[in-house]
Amino acid sequence: MKIVTWNVNSVRARLDILTEWLRDHQPDLMLLQEIKCEAHSFPLEAIEDLGYNIAIHGQKTFNGVAILSKSPIEDVQRGLTFFEEDIQARYIEAVTNGVRVASVYVPNGQAVGTDKYAYKLVFLERLHQHMKSLLQYEEAVVIGGDYNIAPTDLDVADPKAWTGDVLCSIPERKAFYALLNLGYRDGFRIDHPHEKLYSWWDYRSQAWPNDAGLRIDHLLLSPQATDRLESTGIDKAPRGKEKASDHAPVWCSIDV
DNA sequence: ATGGTAGACGATCTA
């Protein structure tokens, strides 16, 4: 089964690009971030017509996550269990096609030292607690999303320009490694150990034409999911289109 | 030193 994570930066603004990609690639599962709308304004019909069931955790204007699946979606949970006071829509989890999956939109963090950066680190702690609790079931679990962290300098086109900055700072990287230390794997790096391939290019400063990107979107796999991993990749093509999201879809294939 | 662009929304905020 093919599982994809994609920060679409507004599902309504990106509907044509999204539906075209779904039609061309036929993923079993699509994990969306930054849908930037509430459930009642989500373009359900255009996506249901392609054969998808949809679960949404929406929010007006900002954030918002969703799960699209060709199989029925069960046991939907919105928000992190250990972060019930969080009013931002950044996490949705469900079981579908025999796999527990989640779509997560980790806070951007704005800049090191700001309130938003502190909130990002708190969110990552609560995510860690929750991801730890999921491992007790010894299931195949895939947590896909925009983690807003480039794990190492290999994941940054120009590491010197980004040293210590938000998305690359040591505390953020430590928080990411702590998720891996629970037993999850960064799917992409398993079969692309040395590749400089990115998932996000800033709209500004000619980042896309210069390939000045960062790899900040990830699929984290539980041991049971890792054991079934067949292949992974990042499809840069949609980033080059007119009216593109600033993120590219990141995918993996799992033998179920 | 703090621009550059995009989306939602209707002045800025977030990224």
If pLDDT is split at 50, 70 and 90, which confidence band does A152 have?
A: very high
Footprint of strand B on the protein (CB under 7 A): A 9-10, 12-13, 36-37, 60-63, 107-108, 110, 116, 203-205, 243
DSSP secondary structure letters along A198-243: -SB--SSTTTTTTT--B--EEEEE-HHHHTTEEEEEE--GGGGSTT
For nucleotide B9, give the residue with the nearest CA to its C1': A61
Calculate ∠ Cα A151-A254-A146, nearest 5°. 30
- Candidates A247, A232, A167, A239; CA nearest to A199 is A247
Catalytic residue among A146, A155, A217, A246: A146
Domain with A47, as residue range(s), is 2-254
Residue A254: per-residue pLDDT:
98
If pLDDT is split at 50, 70 and 90, which confidence band does A20 have?
A: very high
Residue A45: per-residue pLDDT:
98
The nucleotides of chain B lying under 7 Å from a protein CB are 3-9, 14-15
Whether A146 sits among the annotated catalytic residues: the reply is yes
Whether A246 sits among the annotated catalytic residues: the reply is no
**Total domains, chain A:** 1
Strands A99-105, A2-7: pairing kind: unpaired
Quote the tokens at residue A201. 């290019």
CA of residue A105 to C1' of nucleotide B10, angstroms? 26
- Residue type at A138 in one-letter notation: E
CATH number of domain containing A51: 3.60.10.10
Catalytic residue among A91, A105, A117, A184: A105
Residue A237: per-residue pLDDT:
98
For nucleotide B7, give the residue with the nearest CA to its C1': A10
A73-100 average pLDDT score: 97
Residue A154: per-residue pLDDT:
98
- Residue A172's φ and ψ, nearest 5 degrees, are -65, -45
CA of residue A61 to C1' of nucleotide B10, angstroms? 13
